[in-house]
Amino acid sequence: MSSLRGKTAIVGMADTKVGKLPHIGATELCVEAAMLALEDAGISKDQVDGLVTCHSMTEPHMYHAEAVAEYMQIFPRYCVTANAGGGTTFSVLQNAAAAIATGICKTIVISMADCLRTGLTRDQAMALQSSTGHPQFEIPYGPTVPAFYALIARAHMEQYGTTPEQMAAVAVNGRNYAAMNPRAQMRDPITIEDVLASRMIADPLHLLDCSLVSDGGAAVVLTSAEQAKDFPTDPVYLLGFGEGHGHEHISQARSLTTSAAVESGRRAFRMAGMGPGDISVAQIYDCFTPVLLIELEDLGFCSKGEAGAFVAAGETALTGSLPMNTNGGLLSYCHPGNPGSMFGLTEAVAQLRGDSGERQVSNAETALVHGQGGIMSSHATVILGQEQVL
């Protein structure tokens, strides 16, 4: 897989509006994101010969990518629908890069969108939340998705002494960035005390420890490194990929406090020829506050048990050693379900282009983006850079 290093580049990207969008459906949002990304890349839809989408929970299609291609009236040689959760974004990014590197196609649009905020009734949302567990060992006991993550949080607290205040610091960090992002769904400043005073969802997780429920979509345009030089935007090169898969159901996990991000991160760093100390800015999946702490540790940015203190000390702030989730993350920018990771990817591209405005990281040359799907089940890590080879 080392042959993929620097072979492809992102030359276009875009987010739609996010938050509560009752006037538009998930399929139309997916198309809108794709067209905005093509506009950013300076090309027409007729120059696209590859398309990747993800399944929508609110507007499912039997053949989702084909349905979107039909809507756009493009006829790609490479057409894929991703099925997994948050880690899917970066798994398909690796597959798309391989398709370009091997000559299957030249220019791929990856577009993902959903409308979890307005596209589901409360009962539908609760049914969805309650249906993800193992049918024999989990569902009969009634846990929802937050309850599964609360189990992980409690295990980390018991093993390493992580405190509710340290988890709350993750939410505050995201909100501080969102306050600088005019596109973010939630921008009002919050404090540690606000997080701890918010409604309890699943002990020890409060409402503000949990990611948003959103409508929204995002897309990128991917092409070969050679062809990228012909585009009007500054290319952002894909330098390293890695995946790690531990389980499907949390009751079968080998550990509640160490995840397959260990493997995905190690593989991505190896391909890129880099280490955690070489990363300028990170966009790390934060569906719940304890998830981000575990991922920071497993990706090598902290030793086990130290991520809580790392975030609480301000190391992930704009002036810290590892600016992280600079758009506000899933906790404050938006989280439309399966497409959630896409917004970390588009933010990483914006940072490496120097286009993030007030929240721009100084001298950002490299970025790490990480997603996870299921209940800490499947992990994917991508390393990006301004230069083709570092």
Rounded CA separation 212/287 (Å):
8
Query: Does 333 qualify as catalytic in the annotation?
Result: yes
Query: Does 63 qualify as catalytic in the annotation?
Result: no
CB within 8 Å of 23: residues ≥ 6 apart: none
Closest CA to 165 of 267, 313, 368: 313
Rounded CA separation 148/151 (Å):
5
**Structure token pair of residue 148:** 């599964």
Characterize the bridge pairing of strands 205-206 and 200-202.
antiparallel
Rounded CA separation 70/163 (Å):
50
Rounded CA separation 305/158 (Å):
10
Characterize the bridge pairing of strands 107-115 and 50-54.
parallel
Rounded CA separation 327/315 (Å):
16
Position 124 scores a pLDDT of 75
Position 301 scores a pLDDT of 98
Q: What percent of the chain is modeled with pLDDT above 90?
A: 85
Closest CA to 213 of 339, 342, 299: 339
For the chain, the structural domain boundaries read: 2-119+212-385
Q: Are 33 and 13 in contact (CB under 8 A)?
A: no
Instruction: For residue 15, give the 3-state DSSP assignment.
Output: strand
Position 123 scores a pLDDT of 75
**Structure token pair of residue 13:** 């990207």
Mark the ranges of the chain whose per-residue pLDDT is less than 70: 1-2, 84, 126, 128-131, 390
Rounded CA separation 215/163 (Å):
32
Q: Which contiguous run of DSSP H or E holds residue 146?
A: helix 145-160
From its phi and psi, is residue 255 left (phi > 0), alpha (psi between -120 and 50) or beta?
A: beta
Rounded CA separation 275/122 (Å):
44
Instruction: For residue 335, give the 3-state DSSP assignment.
Output: coil
Position 1 scores a pLDDT of 42
- How would you class 158 by CB atoms within 10 Å of its CB: exposed for 0-12, middle for 13-18, buried for 19 or more? exposed
Q: Are 292 and 170 in contact (CB under 8 A)?
A: yes
From its phi and psi, is residue 42 left (phi > 0), alpha (psi between -120 and 50) or beta?
A: left
The hierarchical CATH code for the domain 2-119+212-385 is 3.40.47.10
Catalytic residue chosen out of the listed positions 78, 149, 160, 333: 333
Rounded CA separation 188/180 (Å):
10
Position 135 scores a pLDDT of 80
Rounded CA separation 184/329 (Å):
9
Position 85 scores a pLDDT of 72
Catalytic residue chosen out of the listed positions 149, 160, 177, 285: 285
